[in-house]
Amino acid sequence: DDGTYAITAVQHVPEKESIVDNGASFDPQPGTIHGTVPPAIQHLTTEILAEEGQYQVLARWDTPRVVKGVSFSLRLNVAAEDGSDRLVSSAGTPDTQYRFRGLTPGRYTLSVRAVNSQGQQGDLASTQFSISAPAAPSFIELTPGYFQITATPRQAVYDPTVQYEFWFSDAQITDIYQVENAARYLGTALYWIAASVNIRPGRDYYFYIRAVNQVGKSAFVEATGQASNDAAGYLDFFKGQITESHLG
C-alpha cells in the first residue's frame, strides 16, 4: 500500500429518473457537432372542430423515442382550383400537437417533421383531410322486425366523423326538398329503429336519411321498407295477450 487510490466515476444522467419512473426512452446528448438523428413522426392524425363559421384542425402525433432539444416543423397546404397546392400556414412547436385556426372548406395536406437543435431534419410524415360536408349515404340497409324497421346507412368511404339524420313518413315524398316539412324527424345517430304498433306488415314506409358532420349536411337519400310479415312470429309476439274474445 503506497497511499494512492484509484477512483472510477460515471457520467451523471439526469434523465435516468424519468427512464425508471415513466419508461421513457432518452437519447444521450451527442458528443459531436453532427447531433442525434431526429426521430420519425408516427400516428399523425387530425381532428376538425367548428368555430363560428370557420374551422380549426387539431393535429396530433408521436415519436418512437424522446430526443432532447427536438422541435417539430409543420406545413399546411390546401388544394387550389388549378390542382396545385398553396401554402396556408407553417409553424414550429416543441409539443406533439398543434392547432390550426381560421380554416375554410377545402382539401388539405399536413406535413410534419422533427428538427434537432443543430437544424437536422427527420423524415417527413404527411396526412390529408377535407373540410367539407359529407357525401350522401351510398347504401341504406333496412331490416324488418315486428312492428318496426331498422335503418342502417353506409358511406362509400368510412368516415368516423359522420352521423346521420333520420326522417320518417307513411307516404312517399316526391319533392325531396319538402322532406323537412312533410316527414317526421326521428333523431341523429349511426342507425335508427323506427318502432310503433302503427308500423304494420304489408305496407311501405319511407325513410329519408342524410349524412351530417361538423361542416354540413348531405342531400337526403330515400329508402323504402316494410315491417316483418312473419305471421307465426307475430303470434309468438302476442302470446298470452290474445284471448278468446279477440278471436270472436
Confidence of residue 243 (pLDDT cuts 50, 70, 90): very low
Check pLDDT > 50 for residue 244.
no
Kindly state whether residues 101 and 185 are assigned to the same domain.
no
Residue 41 covered by a domain? yes
pLDDT at 53 (0 to 100): 73
Which residues constitute the domain of residue 193?
Answer: 139-233
* Matching residue, cell 434523465: 15
Q: Select the more confidently predicted residue: 85 or 12.
A: 85
Check pLDDT > 90 for residue 239.
no
Kindly state whether residues 210 and 120 are assigned to the same domain.
no
CA–CA separation, 207 vs 188, rounded Å?
13
Number of domains in the chain: 2
Residue 110 covered by a domain? yes
Check pLDDT > 70 for residue 54.
yes
Q: Among 131, 160, 185, give the residue marking a domain's end.
A: 131
Determine what percent of the chain is predicted with pLDDT higher than 90.
Answer: 67
Residue 2 covered by a domain? no
Kindly state whether residues 61 and 125 are assigned to the same domain.
yes
Q: Select the more confidently predicted residue: 206 or 161.
A: 206
Confidence of residue 194 (pLDDT cuts 50, 70, 90): very high
CB 39 within 8 A of CB 114: yes
Check pLDDT > 50 for residue 183.
yes
Looking at residue 237, what DSSP letter applies? H
* Secondary-structure percent of the chain, ordered helix, strand, coil, rounded to 5: 10, 45, 45
Q: Encode pLDDT of 213-236 as tens digits.
A: 989 999 999 999 999 987 666 666
Check pLDDT > 70 for residue 190.
yes
Q: Among 81, 113, 131, give the residue marking a domain's end.
A: 131
Q: Among 65, 99, 131, give the residue marking a domain's end.
A: 131
Looking at residue 178, what DSSP letter applies? G
Kindly state whether residues 119 and 148 are assigned to the same domain.
no
pTM of the complete model: 0.67
Check pLDDT > 50 for residue 55.
yes
**Of 37-51, 115-129, 231-245, which gets the smallest average pLDDT?**
231-245
